[in-house]
Amino acid sequence: MSECMSEGLNIFSGGKLKELKFNPNRRDKFRYSRSDGKYFLKDLQTKEVLHTFYTARDLDLFLCDVLDVEFTWHLLRNEIRLEEGVTLGDIYKVINNYKELKKLIEFICPEYPNVRKFVESSDHSSEEMIITTKGEITNGVFEIKYDMGYIDNRNWCESTRVTIDNKFQIVEKGKVIDEVLYAPSFLELIIALFGVIHQEPCVFTKEGLKRNDNVIEGGLDLLFCPITLDEELTFADVLNYVKDNELLSKFIANYSWCNAIDIFHKQVNEVHPLDEKEKLWHLKIDRTCRFYKGIDKYLCVEPANFHAVGEISEQSKSLYQGEIPDYETYSVSMTPMWELAHLPFELDEDLIIRWLNKNYGIEKDLVCQFPYKLIDFLDSIYWDISFYGGPEESDKLKEELNEVIEEVKENLDSGNVEYLDLDSDDLFGDDDELS
């Protein structure tokens, strides 16, 4: 990972793909605020306004380094922005410039070659395509859909201008129940433009993916296949399935930012004695979609939550004043793979759509069904197990945390502890303050 956080990707006219990365040295010199739709860059000490920007993108460009992109798979989950005037022809140029991107699209978007051939030969006049995203709830099932406005692919041509509308609508029973800001990812742009292959659901078993009791061979072409899990499937089965498919393994390593994937695949097959007082029962994956209210109301999409479920510890029991629950959830981000290898899965298809206020308090929840695709399932696992890096980085962090815990215990025992009274305004500040 780079020292600078990636802010997203930009496609510029001419088919140039660039990565924006925050420059911390530049960013830490200023304060930022917004008023009347404008963004103000202020002196850190005097708060004097030094620059005024009329769009968030202009502010980002000022604070970021604009870098060339050499490889794309690890950037597919990043926010994508289109420079004003970018055309469908520019997007095709980007795809052509990256062979790994083109290979992925040919696997997951079977109509891509036909659509491209039609667009290149089209003599239609140029029109503007505006891509909008919505989450539609039908009969309790949530589905993300993309809309191109009034223009359909029969009117596409290379000079068709492409714009992303950064609004996300929640639609239930044909009515818009909320609208928030949303930043689609690079992968979502590809799906919106070219669609993905429609496949009948598969069952993930110990032998691999099965449909009608027949093993389905494939890799990247199955990423968007809806899946359910066989009750005998274990954690080791999943990691070995990915390990045995070289191209799928390479893709997940990049897409889920799991650089240590080969180490994890080796570790899951190691044999170690397990603690006889094993507390973990199974592994669980669930999802929450969050809407935040700050300066603007916006949607934050995170990987599905991967964790373990097991017996509640005696220490945890002592913290409850009322009824003690029957189980406890455990983070496994620092857990050796061999400790999880034998555990089965629980795949929770309930999606919790959660509205949060500016202080991150829950305002309301809406629960609906959201079936998993293979990419969702694998990403939740590999994103989590590599959250702190590989096993070596996780072990180092555990040592540091244990040292901090021991230090806190010593201070508590000795009474050498200071308490601070903080008002919520001290934590969250004014609504219009960006930094």
Task: Collapse the DSSP code of 249 into the 3-class scheme (helix H, G, I; strand E, B; otherwise coil) and give the result.
Answer: helix
Q: Are 297 and 177 in contact (CB under 8 A)?
A: no
Residue 208, phi-psi category: left (phi > 0), alpha (psi -120 to 50), beta (remainder): left
Predicted confidence (pLDDT) per residue in 147-194, tens digit: 876 555 556 778 888 999 888 889 998 899 888 888 899 999 999 988
Q: Which residues sit opposite 205 in a β-bridge?
A: 208
Q: Which residues sit opposite 128 in a β-bridge?
A: 161
Ranges of H-type helices in 277-386: 314-317, 337-340, 374-385
Distances (CA, A) of 107 to 78, 144, 197, 219: 20, 21, 8, 9
Q: Which of 331, 386, 350 is nearest to 74 (CA)?
A: 386
Q: Which residue has the tokens 């290149």?
A: 120
Q: For position 32, what pLDDT does the model report?
A: 78
Higher pLDDT, 277 or 279: 279
Model confidence at 3, pLDDT cuts 50, 70, 90, reads very low
Model confidence at 269, pLDDT cuts 50, 70, 90, reads very high
Is the pLDDT at 317 greater than 50, yes or no?
A: yes
CA 302 to mean position of chain CA atoms: 4
Q: Where are the domains of the chain?
A: 6-194, 202-392
The string of DSSP codes covering 127-193 is -EEEEEEEEEEETTEEEEEEE-TT--GGG--TT-EEEEEEEEEEEETTEEEEEEE---BHHHHHHHH
Q: What angle do CA 378, 347, 106 make, to 5 degrees?
A: 35
Q: For position 427, what pLDDT does the model report?
A: 45
Model confidence at 276, pLDDT cuts 50, 70, 90, reads low
Q: What are phi and psi of 168, to 5 degrees?
A: -125, 125
Is the pLDDT at 5 greater than 50, yes or no?
A: no
Q: What are phi and psi of 19, to 5 degrees?
A: -105, 135
Model confidence at 322, pLDDT cuts 50, 70, 90, reads confident
Q: What are phi and psi of 21, to 5 degrees?
A: -130, 130
Is the pLDDT at 432 greater than 80, yes or no?
A: no
Q: For position 29, what pLDDT does the model report?
A: 79
Predicted confidence (pLDDT) per residue in 389-412, tens digit: 888 888 888 888 888 888 888 777
Burial of 374 (0-12, 13-18, 19+ CB in 10 A): buried
Q: Which of 362, 258, 245 is nearest to 303 (CA)?
A: 258
Is the pLDDT at 87 greater than 70, yes or no?
A: yes
Q: Are 148 and 180 in contact (CB under 8 A)?
A: no
- Average pLDDT for the chain: 85
Q: For position 1, what pLDDT does the model report?
A: 35
Q: For position 118, what pLDDT does the model report?
A: 65
Residue 139, phi-psi category: left (phi > 0), alpha (psi -120 to 50), beta (remainder): left
Is the pLDDT at 435 greater than 90, yes or no?
A: no
Higher pLDDT, 209 or 30: 209
Predicted confidence (pLDDT) per residue in 351-385, tens digit: 888 888 878 888 888 899 999 999 999 999 999 99
Q: What is the mean pLDDT of residues 68-73?
A: 95
The percentage of the chain sitting over the pLDDT mark of 70, rounded to a whole number, equals 89
Predicted confidence (pLDDT) per residue in 73-83, tens digit: 999 999 999 99
